[in-house]
A and B are shown apart, each in its own frame.
Chain A
Amino acid sequence: MVLDQIVSIVISTGNFYAIWLILTLSLNYEYGYNGILNFGKVLFFGVGAFAAGYVVANLANFVAGVAVDMCSAQAVQLRLETARASPVFAIGGFLLAIAAGSILAGIVGLLLTSSTMRIKEGFILGIVLLAAGETSRIVVRNYEPIACGYHGLVGIPNPFLFVGDAQTSTYYLSILIWAVAAINFIIMFKVSRSPYGRMLKAIRENELAAESFGKNINKVRRQVLFIGSMMSGMAGVLYAYYIGFVAADDFTSLKTFDIWVAMMLGGVGNHVGAASGAFLVTVIDRATRTLRGWLATLNIPIEMLYVRWIIVGVLMLIVLMYRPNGLIPEGPIRTPAYRIFGTANLRWSRWRKS
Chain B
Amino acid sequence: MEISAVELVSSLVRTLQSGSLYALMALGLTLTLAILKIPNIAHAEYVTIGAYVSFTLINYAGLQLWQVIAPSFLVGGAVAVASYYAVFKPLKKRGASMFILMVASFALALIFRHIIYTIAGIGNWGLGVKPKIVTNAVFRVFGVYISDILLMALPTSIIAMAALYIFIMKTRTGKQMRAVAEDPDLAVASGINPEKIALITLIISGGIASVAGSFWVIFTHAHPDVGLEALLRMIAASALGGFYSYPGTVAGAIIVSFSENTVMDALNRSFGLSLALKPLIPMAIIILVLVTHPTGLSGITWRRKRTLIARGV
Flag whether B283 is at the interface (Cβ < 8 A).
yes
| Total residues of chain A contacting the partner, CB 8 A | 38
Asked whether, in the complex, the Cβ of B100 is within 8 Å of the Cβ of A324, the reply is: yes
Q: Which residue of A lies closest to B97 (CB)?
A: A122
Asked whether, in the complex, the Cβ of A260 is within 8 Å of the Cβ of B108, the reply is: no
Asked whether, in the complex, the Cβ of A119 is within 8 Å of the Cβ of B39, the reply is: no
Flag whether A144 is at the interface (Cβ < 8 A).
no
Task: Kindly specify which of B56-64, B110-118, B144-152 makes contact with the partner chain.
Answer: B110-118
Flag whether A123 is at the interface (Cβ < 8 A).
yes
Contact with B along A270-282 (1 / 0, CB 8 A): 0000000000000
- B118's partner among A257, A302, A314 (CB-CB below 8 A) is A302
Asked whether, in the complex, the Cβ of B108 is within 8 Å of the Cβ of A128, the reply is: no
Asked whether, in the complex, the Cβ of B118 is within 8 Å of the Cβ of A307, the reply is: yes
Tell me the bound Cα distance from A124 to B279 in angstroms: 20
Asked whether, in the complex, the Cβ of A257 is within 8 Å of the Cβ of B110, the reply is: yes
Task: Kindly specify which of A133-141, A239-247, A284-292 makes contact with the partner chain.
Answer: A133-141
Chain A residues with Cβ below 8 Å from B96 are 320, 324
Chain A residues with Cβ below 8 Å from B111 are 309-310, 313-314, 317
- B104's partner among A124, A131, A317 (CB-CB below 8 A) is A317
Assuming the contacts A142-B274, A317-B87, A320-B100, asked whether A131 and B232 have C-beta atoms less than 8 A apart, the reply is yes
Asked whether, in the complex, the Cβ of A123 is within 8 Å of the Cβ of B107, the reply is: no
Assuming the contacts A119-B294, A122-B98, A123-B98, asked whether A135 and B114 have C-beta atoms less than 8 A apart, the reply is no
Task: Kindly specify which of B20-28, B173-181, B284-292 makes contact with the partner chain.
Answer: B284-292
Asked whether, in the complex, the Cβ of B277 is within 8 Å of the Cβ of A128, the reply is: no
Asked whether, in the complex, the Cβ of A135 is within 8 Å of the Cβ of B283, the reply is: yes
Q: Which residue of A lies closest to B289 (CB)?
A: A128
Assuming the contacts A126-B102, A264-B103, A321-B91, asked whether A131 and B283 have C-beta atoms less than 8 A apart, the reply is yes
Flag whether A116 is at the interface (Cβ < 8 A).
yes
Within 8 A of A (CB), among B239-253: 239, 243
Tell me the bound Cα distance from A301 to B123 in angstroms: 9
Asked whether, in the complex, the Cβ of B108 is within 8 Å of the Cβ of A317, the reply is: yes
Chain B residues with Cβ below 8 Å from A321 are 87, 90-91, 94
Chain B residues with Cβ below 8 Å from A303 are 117-118, 121
Flag whether B276 is at the interface (Cβ < 8 A).
yes
Chain B residues with Cβ below 8 Å from A119 are 290-291, 294
Within 8 A of B (CB), among A290-346: 301-303, 306-307, 309-310, 312-314, 316-317, 320-321, 324
Task: Quote the shortest CB–CB distance from A303 to chain B (angstroms).
Answer: 5
Assuming the contacts A126-B99, A127-B239, asked whether A307 and B114 have C-beta atoms less than 8 A apart, the reply is yes
Asked whether, in the complex, the Cβ of A313 is within 8 Å of the Cβ of B108, the reply is: yes
Flag whether B280 is at the interface (Cβ < 8 A).
yes
Tell me the bound Cα distance from A312 to B106 in angstroms: 11
Chain A residues with Cβ below 8 Å from B286 are 127-128, 131
Flag whether A115 is at the interface (Cβ < 8 A).
yes
Asked whether, in the complex, the Cβ of A118 is within 8 Å of the Cβ of B294, the reply is: yes
Contact with A along B225-266 (1 / 0, CB 8 A): 000000010010001000100000000000000000000000
Q: Which residue of A lies closest to B110 (CB)?
A: A313
Q: Which residue of B lies closest to A307 (CB)?
A: B118
Q: Which residue of B lies closest to A126 (CB)?
A: B102
Tell me the bound Cα distance from A222 to B36 in angstroms: 31
Flag whether B308 is at the interface (Cβ < 8 A).
no
Q: Which residue of B lies closest to A129 (CB)?
A: B287
Chain B residues with Cβ below 8 Å from A123 are 39, 98-99, 102
Chain B residues with Cβ below 8 Å from A126 are 99, 102
Within 8 A of A (CB), among B198-249: 232, 235, 239, 243
Q: Which residue of B lies closest to A150 (CB)?
A: B276
Flag whether B122 is at the interface (Cβ < 8 A).
yes
Tell me the bound Cα distance from A37 to B100 in angstroms: 10
Chain B residues with Cβ below 8 Å from A301 are 121-122
Flag whether A197 is at the interface (Cβ < 8 A).
no
Asked whether, in the complex, the Cβ of B90 is within 8 Å of the Cβ of A116, the reply is: no
Contact with B along A191-226 (1 / 0, CB 8 A): 000000000000000000000000000000000000
Asked whether, in the complex, the Cβ of A127 is within 8 Å of the Cβ of B108, the reply is: no
Tell me the bound Cα distance from A303 to B274 in angstroms: 37
Asked whether, in the complex, the Cβ of A260 is within 8 Å of the Cβ of B102, the reply is: no
Task: Quote the shortest CB–CB distance from B116 to chain A (angstroms).
Answer: 9
Asked whether, in the complex, the Cβ of B277 is within 8 Å of the Cβ of A260, the reply is: no
Of the candidates A119, A123, A260, the one having the most CB atoms from chain B within 10 angstroms of its own CB is A123
Asked whether, in the complex, the Cβ of A317 is within 8 Å of the Cβ of B107, the reply is: yes
Asked whether, in the complex, the Cβ of A128 is within 8 Å of the Cβ of B287, the reply is: yes
Flag whether A132 is at the interface (Cβ < 8 A).
yes
Asked whether, in the complex, the Cβ of B104 is within 8 Å of the Cβ of A320, the reply is: yes
- B290's partner among A35, A127, A139, A314 (CB-CB below 8 A) is A127
Within 8 A of A (CB), among B53-108: 87, 90-91, 94, 96-100, 102-104, 106-108
Tell me the bound Cα distance from A143 to B31 in angstroms: 38
Tell me the bound Cα distance from A307 to B115 in angstroms: 8
A residues contacting B by CB (< 8 A) are 35, 37, 115-116, 118-119, 121-124, 126-128, 131-132, 134-135, 138-139, 142, 257, 260, 264, 301-303, 306-307, 309-310, 312-314, 316-317, 320-321, 324
Closest 7 CB pairs of A and B: A313-B111, A313-B110, A316-B107, A131-B286, A131-B283, A309-B114, A306-B114
Known: A126-B102, A127-B290, A307-B114. 15 other contacts (CB 8 A): A119-B291, A122-B98, A123-B98, A131-B232, A131-B282, A135-B280, A135-B283, A135-B284, A142-B276, A303-B118, A310-B114, A313-B107, A313-B111, A317-B104, A321-B91
